[in-house]
Amino acid sequence: MLIFLTVLASVLLILAIVMAVKLAGALRERARCAILLAPAADESLEDAIRRLNRTAEKSAVIPELESRFEHLIASCPFPVLLLDENLVIVDLSNQAETELDQPRKRRGLLEGLESHELEDAARGAIDTLQPAEVTVRLYAAGRRPFIARLLPFHSGRQKMCFVFLQDVTATVEFGQLRSQFAATVSHELRTPLAGIRALVETLQDPDIEAEDRQRFLSQIDREANRLAQLVDDILFLSSLESGATNLEGSTDLGALSDSLSEKLRPLAAQFEVKVRSSVPAGLVIPLPERMASTLLTNLLENAIKYSGRGSRVDLTGGREGNRIKLQVRDDGIGIDAEHLSHIFERFYRVDKSRSRHLGGTGLGLSIVKHVVESAGGEVRANSREGFGTEITVLLPAPPLSG
Amino acid sequence: MTRQSFHEGLKQLNHEILRMASLVVEAVDLSTQALLTGDRKLANSVIAGDDDINELSLWIEGRCLALQARQQPVARDLRLLHVCLLVSLHLERVGDLAVNIAKIAKRMERTEGAEPYLDLLRKMSAQALEVLRQGVKAFADRDAELAGKLEEIDEPIDEMFKEILDRLLHPTDENRDVATSEWATHVALASRYIERIADQVVDMGGRVSFLVTGELDSTYFDRSEADINNQFGE
């Protein structure tokens, strides 16, 4: 009996010891997981994943890993997907659900995002466990371009892959705009140059009449001036945009408009346009004189050149509350509604052949818009075909003195 | 081949069809982009890419035949194989139409005053792409309801197609100079191809409905085929 009890007691003791050791082991494992999973303060997500990749190889299953990720993923402020090794979407961020057209959990990547390119990249990343990056157009997101960053890792159980998506629509559009602008500028610069070269070639002929020689020379002069004006305008616009231009200062618009109307009289006569200026003396606008003069010259020249023979151009100005209103109105041919919304764009021409022939650079109104907006104002255009055009500039008025 | 691998085979088949669909969506998008912008490089990439689509289509056809022959599937499985084959044929045809559009993109000169036509083509293309995407989705989700809606999404495309033809056939003073016979032929053909793309997808929707419901819809198919219903329905 005693022997039996002793044996029983030892068996129980051994069992208890085994249990205690097991429990301690489990607790240790839990503690180790917690340490592994707790992100260091300065650790990026990518570093954390790399660290987990290293430890996952050594350690057994890390059970909390995926539930931790679930939290992390859901709250990501951009579209993120977590894929398993069969490229099935295991998890996704809330942002992915709103930005993309219904990707769902437990769906294949191809079904969810409809991109074979992304699938190929994800397949490669998971097979090699190498991070990858690919630019794809996602039809599931209104065919917007995205950069997809693929970050594969080993969860201990299986290979998995994060897909971080970044919408790059703005970048791509900006790039297109830039190359389009470069193409237009070079085209605009080449046109007068081509004219000059052709004229020079003709002038090299020794038998040319003196009269023709003079005519060609003055034509070269005109083209060269246009080229110089164009380069000036482009540089002026870019300095305005870079913010390098000094916009501090104020100008008496009354005095300026009088002197400008005088200066533009020959041009007006050439186009048979009457210019009338009625800006009260002492009306001050918050722009340095050079800027104010550029603004007004561009507005008036534009009206004179494009309103048509026999029309009248009126420049009016005045204070309206805390703003200064400046208006250039003509009773000329007007601008079609289709073109009106574009006239402040660079190099936009309503009538391409005509405006080049008249010597415009295509930048005048664009400069007007930039100058006005840099000074915190706004510019509007109104027009009716056959009845004339009205351009209104509104500028913040300097505080009234006294 | 065991049942397990039969289902693996179906899964793989489904996956490859979706892959082909993704290629076709891209081909349609890029070819219409090329048409609207005159980008020849883009047009060439569509033409070159069609080989991949055709190859996939052949692979899918072979796989459908092999699975039918070896597994003798019935009811839904049989319908699935049958519909997979047809969907891949529809998609392949859409890919060919994209190539046709790309070829026109290479030949069509830019003309001033073409904007109203290009605008209509732009809208048609966007709508056709939408029909295509929804068609693929209906197949992927086995969604008979969505498949049934395709015809409705297709309607504006037919309207715009008619409008383009009407404009070309009855030039006004404004667009008389634009519509040289060569240019007009290109525009008419391009719009016809876009319209055909959407029609192919609507037909594809009919196949998807059949897959889900087991009933051949008489709007899509001849009435004479309707008695096949009883043999293949569950």
Q: Tell me, yes or no, whether A120 lies in a domain.
A: yes
pLDDT of A351 above 80: no
The owner of tokens 């629509």 is A169
State which residues form the domain around A210: 172-245
C-alpha A218/C-alpha B133 separation (Å) is 62
**Tens digit of each residue's pLDDT (9 = 90 or more) over A250-280:** 888 888 888 888 888 888 888 888 888 888 8
**Could you say which of A196, A224, A245 is where a domain stops?**
A245
- Whole-angstrom distance between the N-terminal and C-terminal Cα of chain B? 24
Query: How many Cα atoms occupy the beta-carbon half-sphere of A371 within 13 Å?
Result: 24
CA-nearest residue of chain A to B137? A111
Q: Between A156 and B229, whose confidence is greater? A: A156
Nearest to B66 by CA among B109, B5, B127: B5
Q: Tell me, yes or no, whether A5 lies in a domain.
A: no
Q: Which of A108, A114, A137 sits opposite B15 (nearest CB)?
A: A108
Element (H, E) at A80: strand A80-83
Q: What percent of chain A has pLDDT over 90?
A: 13
CB contact under 8 A, B22 and A110: yes
Quickly state the pLDDT bin for A381 (edges 50, 70, 90).
confident
Distances (CA, A) of A187 to A91, A174, B204: 51, 20, 48
Low-confidence ranges of chain B (pLDDT < 50): 222-234
Is the Cβ–Cβ distance between A170 and A148 less than 8 Å? no
CB contact under 8 A, A139 and B29: yes
Predicted pLDDT of residue A21: 65
Q: Tell me, yes or no, whether A35 lies in a domain.
A: no
Contacts of B129 in chain A (CB under 8 A): 139, 143
Q: Does B136 touch chain A (CB under 8 A)?
A: yes
Predicted pLDDT of residue B43: 95
Nearest to A381 by CA among A312, A330, A316, A310: A330
pLDDT of A120 above 90: yes
Is the Cβ–Cβ distance between A163 and A135 less than 8 Å? no
The owner of tokens 């083509």 is B121
DSSP string, A161-221: EEEEEEE-HHHHHHHHHHHHHHHHHHHHHHHHHHHHHHHHHHHT-TT--HHHHHHHHHHHH
CB contact under 8 A, A114 and B29: no
Contacts of A137 in chain B (CB under 8 A): 26, 29
Nearest to A343 by CA among A308, A303, A376: A303
For residue B131, give how far its alpha carbon lies from the nearest alpha carbon of chain A (Å): 12
- For A108: left if phi > 0, alpha if psi spans -120 to 50, otherwise beta; the answer is beta
Q: Tell me the one-letter amino acid at B148.
A: G
Which residues share a beta bridge with A319?
A324
Complex prediction ipTM: 0.78
Mutation for A interface: B19, B26, B141, B143, most A CBs within 10 A: B26
Nearest to A163 by CA among A210, A103, A213, A235: A103
Are residues A283 and A400 both part of a single domain? yes
Q: Residue A289 sits in a domain of what CATH number?
A: 3.30.565.10
Predicted pLDDT of residue A66: 61
Mean pLDDT of A142-151: 92
Q: Does B23 touch chain A (CB under 8 A)?
A: yes
Are residues A251 and A277 both part of a single domain? yes
Are residues A241 and A274 both part of a single domain? no
Nearest to A136 by CA among A153, A151, A158, A114: A114
CB contact under 8 A, B129 and A139: yes
Task: Specify the DSSP class assigned to residue A398.
Answer: P
SS (H, E, C) A17-65: HHHHHHHHHHHHHHHHHHHHHCCCCCCCHHHHHHHHHHHHHHCCCCCHH
Are residues A204 and A127 both part of a single domain? no
Are residues A192 and A215 both part of a single domain? yes
Q: Which of B18, B26, B133 sits opposite A110 (nearest CB)?
A: B18
Is the Cβ–Cβ distance between A153 and A161 less than 8 Å? yes
Query: How many Cα atoms occupy the beta-carbon half-sphere of B5 within 13 Å?
Result: 7
Are residues A259 and A399 both part of a single domain? yes
Q: Tell me, yes or no, whether A225 lies in a domain.
A: yes
Beta strands in A203-343 (DSSP E): 251-252, 274-278, 284-285, 312-320, 323-330
CB contact under 8 A, A110 and B15: yes
Contacts of B131 in chain A (CB under 8 A): none
Cβ neighbours of B27 (radius 10 Å):
26
Predicted pLDDT of residue B230: 46
Q: Mark A316-354 as b/e (b = at least 16 C-beta within 10 Å).
A: bbeeeeeebbbbbbbbbbbbeeeebeebbebbbbeeeee
Predicted pLDDT of residue B197: 96
**Tens digit of each residue's pLDDT (9 = 90 or more) over A11-70:** 777 777 767 666 666 656 555 544 455 545 556 666 766 666 666 554 544 556 666 767
C-alpha B86/C-alpha A148 separation (Å) is 33
State phi, psi for A154 to the nearest 5 degrees: -110, 120
Predicted pLDDT of residue B183: 86
Q: Does B19 touch chain A (CB under 8 A)?
A: yes
Is the Cβ–Cβ distance between A253 and A280 less than 8 Å? no
Token pair recorded at residue A344: 């402040």
In chain B, domain spans = 3-232
| Rounded (10°) angle between helices A289-306 and A253-263 | 40
Q: Which of A111, A137, A139 sits opposite B18 (nearest CB)?
A: A111
Cβ neighbours of B109 (radius 10 Å):
10
Nearest to A190 by CA among A217, A223, A219: A223
Are residues A225 and A257 both part of a single domain? no
Quickly state the pLDDT bin for A186 (edges 50, 70, 90).
confident
CB contact under 8 A, B136 and A115: no
Is the Cβ–Cβ distance between A75 and A60 less than 8 Å? no
Token pair recorded at residue B77: 């499985």
Nearest to B21 by CA among B103, B84, B101: B84
* CATH architecture of the domain formed by B3-232: Up-down Bundle (1.20)
Is the Cβ–Cβ distance between A149 and A110 less than 8 Å? no
Predicted pLDDT of residue A61: 47
Q: Between A316 and A401, whose confidence is greater? A: A316
Is the Cβ–Cβ distance between B121 and B32 less than 8 Å? yes
**Could you say which of A194, A225, A245 is where a domain stops?**
A245
CB contact under 8 A, B22 and A115: yes
Q: Between A239 and A27, whose confidence is greater? A: A239
**Tens digit of each residue's pLDDT (9 = 90 or more) over B25-67:** 999 999 999 999 889 999 999 999 999 999 999 999 999 999 9
Give Cα B210 to chain centroid, integer Å. 18
Task: Specify the DSSP class assigned to residue A118.
Answer: H
Task: Specify the DSSP class assigned to residue A141.
Answer: G
CA-nearest residue of chain B to A108? B15
Q: Interface of chain A against chain B, CB under 8 Å?
A: 108, 110-111, 114-116, 119, 137, 139, 143
Are residues A188 and A213 both part of a single domain? yes
Are residues A161 and A286 both part of a single domain? no
CB contact under 8 A, A110 and B29: no
pLDDT of A387 above 60: yes
CB contact under 8 A, A116 and B23: yes
Contacts of B136 in chain A (CB under 8 A): 114
Predicted pLDDT of residue A76: 83
Are residues A82 and A123 both part of a single domain? yes
Mutation for A interface: B10, B17, B25, most A CBs within 10 A: B25
Q: Which of B22, B129, B133 sits opposite A116 (nearest CB)?
A: B22
Q: Which of A116, A119, A143 sits opposite B29 (nearest CB)?
A: A143
Quickly state the pLDDT bin for A375 (edges 50, 70, 90).
confident
Task: Specify the DSSP class assigned to residue A350.
Answer: S
CA-nearest residue of chain B to A115? B22
Q: Does B24 touch chain A (CB under 8 A)?
A: no
Predicted pLDDT of residue B58: 96
CB contact under 8 A, B133 and A114: yes
Cβ neighbours of A29 (radius 10 Å):
15
Domain count of the fold of chain A: 3
Contacts of B21 in chain A (CB under 8 A): 114
CB contact under 8 A, B23 and A143: no
Q: Tell me, yes or no, whether A284 lies in a domain.
A: yes
Predicted pLDDT of residue A322: 85
Token pair recorded at residue B165: 């033809």
